[in-house]
Amino acid sequence: EDRGIPEPGPGEVQISMQKVGICGSDVKYWTAGAIGDFIVKGPILLGHEASGIVTKLGPNVKNLKVGDRVAMDPHITCRSCEFCKSGRYNMCPDLFFLATPPDSGALARFHVHAADFVFKLPDNVSFEEGACVEPLSVGLNACRRVGVTMGNHVLITGAGPIGLCSLLVAKAYGAAAICITDIDAKRLEFAKSLGATHTYLIGKDDKPEELGHKIGQLMGGPPHQTIECSGAQFSVDLAVYATRHAGAVGIIGHGPPRVSFPIVTTVAKELDIKGCFRYVNTWPTLIEMISAGQINVKPIITHNFTIEETLQAFETAKSGAGIKVMIDCAKKMA
């Protein structure tokens, strides 16, 4: 639809949107109208994986200038609660988050955003890469939460976009062995090309406890950390059985509202189970890592559409035909 161009207020910038990636959550809101307690009750824009060019400054903006190429952290927080002040702003109770009902997103020609959640892109980082900082941030937050470091063995369950982004970050963090599991052989082949040292195609006859032992043998030792990205009960069980004693399991995947844990094994192995919700303070780190060539996110960008082709873009993302689907929001000059 046609909307007026938003004007920046104090501490805000107007951005000419360039690239917006489609997230799985965008597809779910489009098709189902809800994810858990986040329910679409009126018209909203989708899109929170975003980059663009600063076109106007509101009063009191010091960190940016017109013409800056930027990427956006979708959060806007209160900045004064205990969570914001302690660096855990993703837990802020007074939180705005792009494209999460009731908050609208950035899939538009122009968008206004809080300047302190907008970050400059170096010249050698493309707008597509800038938009991919968001899904990479989910992987980075998970790697931080479970403590991935050099020489570790890491298991990732689920080779969708978030699993693949977690793979890229774990690799950049120096993980010595990375195994990724999925039910799709093509996704696993792709993961191998991104740097997975091992893959496992889950079959209908596999059992989590047996497979957990098998993965430890495959990797030359059980994983220090597992990052669960699928939301499937099977993968939650596998994470517990596969992870070594005193290891950590990070839960990103959203599946059924309730899943069960092999609680006796979890306790006996003293596993740390960590919920991984969005991210905090990841944009500067990832922009530097992309710029330095430590993370190459370009291979996961498989499809590009214009903003006029948004419906086709969403259909493509829904079908699973691509990994990361991008929409070009820039107005082309005749």
pLDDT, tens digit (0-9, with 9 covering 90-100), for 127-160: 999 999 999 999 999 999 999 999 999 999 999 9
Q: What is the pLDDT of residue 36?
A: 84
Interior angle at CA 85, CA 248 and CA 273, nearest 5 = 15
| Dihedral sign of CA atoms 206, 212, 217, 218 in order | positive
pLDDT tens for residues 158-174? Answer: 999 999 999 999 999 99
- What residues does CATH 3.90.180.10 cover in the chain? 12-132+297-328
CA distances, 7 to each of 85, 110, 112, 214 (Å): 29, 9, 7, 57
CATH number 3.90.180.10 given to 12-132+297-328: yes
User: Rounded CA gap, 143 and 224, in Å?
Assistant: 11
User: Rounded CA gap, 14 and 21, in Å?
Assistant: 19
Of 179, 328, 186, nearest in space to 244 by CA = 179
Q: Which two tokens stand for residue 196?
A: 């997975």
Q: What is the pLDDT of residue 334?
A: 52
Q: Any idea which fold 138-275 has?
A: Rossmann fold (3.40.50)
Phi, psi of 315 (to 5 degrees): -65, -40
Please state whether beta strands 153-157 and 110-114 pair in parallel, antiparallel, or not at all (unpaired).
unpaired
- What residues does CATH 3.40.50.720 cover in the chain? 138-275
Q: What is the pLDDT of residue 1?
A: 74
Give the 3-state secondary structure of residue 21. Answer: strand
User: Rounded CA gap, 170 and 180, in Å?
Assistant: 11
User: Rounded CA gap, 51 and 318, in Å?
Assistant: 22
Mean pLDDT of each 10-residue bin along the chain, 334 residues long:
91 99 96 91 96 99 98 98 98 97 96 98 99 99 99 98 98 99 98 98 98 98 98 98 99 90 97 98 99 98 97 96 95 66
